Chain A
Amino acid sequence: QQQVKQSPQSLIVQKGGISIINCAYENTAFDYFPWYQQFPGKGPALLIAIRPDVSEKKEGRFTISFNKSAKQFSLHIMDSQPGDSATYFCAAKRRTSGSRLTFGEGTQLTVNP
């Protein structure tokens, strides 16, 4: 049972376009929502994260939008570049779960030149 649902499974975007990946969760006890980026042959690495007390967080071209009432959060990549081509995972952590993260299914992003 997937507690964090991620869509789409794959995404193709032209260079300079906006990439949008969505995640939805059910458990209201989640209090930390990171996004991880994984390049082929590498392990995932933290990209950006948000807590539910804010609705948006921006770091460079990457923005997380968070909708607490809808229990959804999304990653927006502005001015997408071929170097952004990777697999992206959303995740969530419960307040009482210590370090445990629950991951979404992943989105394979391809940015065409």
Chain B
Amino acid sequence: DVKVTQSSRYLVKRTGEKVFLECVQDMDHENMFWYRQDPGLGLRLIYFSYDVKMKEKGDIPEGYSVSREKKERFSLILESASTNQTSMYLCASRTVSLLSGNTIYFGEGSWLTVV
């Protein structure tokens, strides 16, 4: 089974703090994603990475950055946390193998509260 692990499930941070959300996948997937989930808004793509050291902005990248130094690890960085970034953050991964179809595998989420 594919395993996408988000190490921090619940975080409380102060406004202005730098926040790191870490994600690791164990299936050698090329693509990795960070989504944000808010009630009534669904899942919105923040950033994604095609492969190591490659990244592309999603639909709501403002206030976020990402890092992918190793294939299995994709980090989301909030440079200066703000209260409107209180949300649940979902990491996901996918292989580009045609045999695997388009399935995206999600982690269990990181609940971030910014006070």
Contact = CB atoms under 8 A, between A and B. Distances in A.
A99 B94 contact: yes
A34 B107 CA distance: 18
Contacts of A4: 42
A100 B42 contact: no
Interface stretch (A57-65, A66-74, A76-84, A101-109): A101-109
Contacts of B40: 9, 105-106
A2 B105 CA distance: 22
Interface residues of A, number: 26
Contacts of A45: 105-106
A101 B96 CA distance: 14
A42 B104 contact: no
20 contacts: A6-B42, A34-B102, A34-B103, A43-B4, A43-B108, A44-B90, A45-B105, A45-B106, A46-B104, A89-B42, A89-B43, A98-B31, A98-B50, A99-B33, A103-B42, A103-B44, A104-B42, A105-B40, A106-B39, A106-B43
